[in-house]
Amino acid sequence: MTIEPVDSFVAVPGGRIFTRRWTSAQADRPPIVLLHDSLGSVDQWREFPAALANATGRSIVAYDRLGFGRSTRRAESPSVAFIREEAEIFFPAISQALDISNFLLFGHSVGGAMALVIAALHRGGCEAVTTEAAQAFVEPRTISGIQAAKKAFRDPEQFARIAKWHGENARWVLEAWTEVWLSLEFRAWSLEPYLGRVRCPVLAIHGDMDEYGSEDFPRRIREGVSGPSELEIVIGCGHVPHRERQNEVLRLTSSFISRYCSHTAAVGPERGA
């Protein structure tokens, strides 16, 4: 089934956030909110949100974090507390503006870390979390991967890949990722203070070839949360499972939601998705 998305802007502290919603035929169910990675945006999810809506029977909501994509530009660099700030400041403003009281979360990379912190701080509203390629702490592979990417993006052709999605925000987006994650101040960051407060079901998906983090990340997530948890390692997959192995991610996510959210019946991805 083809689902036409609807775009809107939401006022938040510091500017406006761009949002997009794919409304399913069963829109009375709590939606799945997508949280993008460090270089991500709504448009970079591509066909995945519509496919996820068809696979789960849920409406899907995605948004560009402040400074990313079509959202308001930011002049200041993010603080080392930017993951918690997303959960404390921006997500509540967005969910209130969009009238979302109950929700599921699907977060990619740092978006997965944000999803878990949101679930920890807003336990009454979060029904389930799926993370893919989420960082749980800062490990040597994370640092070396970001250092390699920073060097690669000095090439104008490589940098143009970021500008394609973020326009005039591109330089800020790149530095917001590399300079915070590579700072000495951020090395001590981890999800440890939050995982035990996550009581909803959690599915941690991770590629065995992820260049930004080892399988210790999803293991730490699975073992640390208080509620039901599952871990799925996708073989032959790097840092973007929903793009590299879309059908498998759709299957894993829809099955997980079906098991733990009793009022949901997963309908499976469309053929050829």
The per-residue pLDDT for range 236-259, each reduced to its tens digit, is 999 999 999 999 999 999 999 999
Q: What structural domains and CATH numbers belong to the chain?
A: 6-260 (3.40.50.1820)
What is the distance between the alpha carbons of residues 196 and 217, in angstroms, rounded to a whole number?
Answer: 15
Give yes or no for a contact between 68 and 45, defined as CB atoms under 8 angstroms apart: no
- pLDDT digit string (tens) for the chain, length 273 residues: 678 899 999 999 999 999 999 998 777 899 999 999 999 999 999 999 999 999 999 999 999 999 999 999 998 999 999 999 999 999 999 999 999 999 999 999 999 999 999 999 998 999 999 999 999 999 999 999 999 999 999 999 999 999 999 999 999 999 999 999 999 999 999 999 999 999 999 999 999 999 999 999 999 999 999 999 999 999 999 999 999 999 999 999 999 999 998 653 333 333 333
State the amino acid at position 72 in one-letter form. Answer: T
pLDDT of 264 reads 39
How many other C-beta atoms can be found within 10 angstroms of the C-beta atom of residue 15? Answer: 14
How many other C-beta atoms can be found within 10 angstroms of the C-beta atom of residue 261? Answer: 19
In the block, which residue shows the tokens 């992820």?
210
How many other C-beta atoms can be found within 10 angstroms of the C-beta atom of residue 245? Answer: 20
pLDDT of 271 reads 30
pLDDT of 24 reads 81
pLDDT of 262 reads 60
In the block, which residue shows the tokens 């402040």?
66
pLDDT of 4 reads 85
Query: Which DSSP string corresponds to 58-97?
Result: --EEEEPPTTSTTSPP--SPPPTTHHHHIIIIIHHHHHHH
pLDDT of 273 reads 31
